A and B are shown apart, each in its own frame.
Chain A
């Protein structure tokens, strides 16, 4: 794969304006004029967004605004729906992922995803986490054990499950299941983690744990998180994008969005006047 030339190109093109400190953080994902149709429904309009390394980007907006759809275009999971058409360009580290020659499996080994509802496999805790590495060719049992342990530690669930690694994952609580899914995701050593409303099915206590975890993970991964919870976005993200009716109304540093938004619709939304 000839990564280099494209990469440079993208980097120059998408140089963030302003602050020097930020310029050092490389852009992982950049989205150009992305439009998406479900059959005849035009669900995303000209989306333009960047995701920087080691940052958390939050995507907020009322339900049905296209935020989940958008995040699923980033690892092309949106194609699991029949009848989907995507136009525009999405660059992951400089490569257009909608290029026909780009293998989607490769993309997905680099970009992990955590779903709205915890979706552990009906297997043991251990096998859930070892699943990804096994697919990617790791057979050595010792190595697998190591990966499982580190991933579970990384997802802050090791202490809770270390004595029940061989039990069925369905026996865990909802919050534990979600952190297990995060561990499962870490085990394939992703570069980016996409989270699609990861706490919407969890109780407040588990939500807090996942939020803390996101903050920790930020040191090593780039994270994009869709959330319906504005406080959550404010608490954990560096940048926030506000989606409305399939469009990006505003995308800026989280502080700016929540203290001094540009667009009146953003203000209306975060002050709870609609949605």
Chain B
């Protein structure tokens, strides 16, 4: 079982390395969206500091949304997905491996890039630190929750739009606690409570999202 997990994780990372253009689209989308706000609003430090948490988190949400479509679609089209359903491995493990690979490729670069972008918003080093931690806890949860939507809309025409309608409402708690953590730190209240909530959301989605996505995949492949 662990062997299958490793194999699939390795396969997806190898595939991502062979198609690096896909890898960078999400990251550049995030960088550009975040950088547009200071340009549009002007160098008003107070305003920028105020909107920074919200901007970062909404941009991370949209970037993760953008990447979702590719999570299962390629495997679905070339038939690798139906073969996956027919392997003697628990589907939970396989879905988890795919989501983790997906996050390593599309989510982790955003987290690493965030402190650099945060400088444009004149965020304090404390706030930047909390921003990274909140993204580190929040973006895997986004990938996991998004996997359910991606699995449900597999093979549908216009699935891309539908997946946003399905998944964005489910992202709201992550958005609230994620940007809340940064805001609370910036205003000096400490964002620990928010981060703990984010951690709880991550654990819950780690347990439940692969189950729901597996069930959705079985329906979609039929």
**A and B are interacting partners:** no
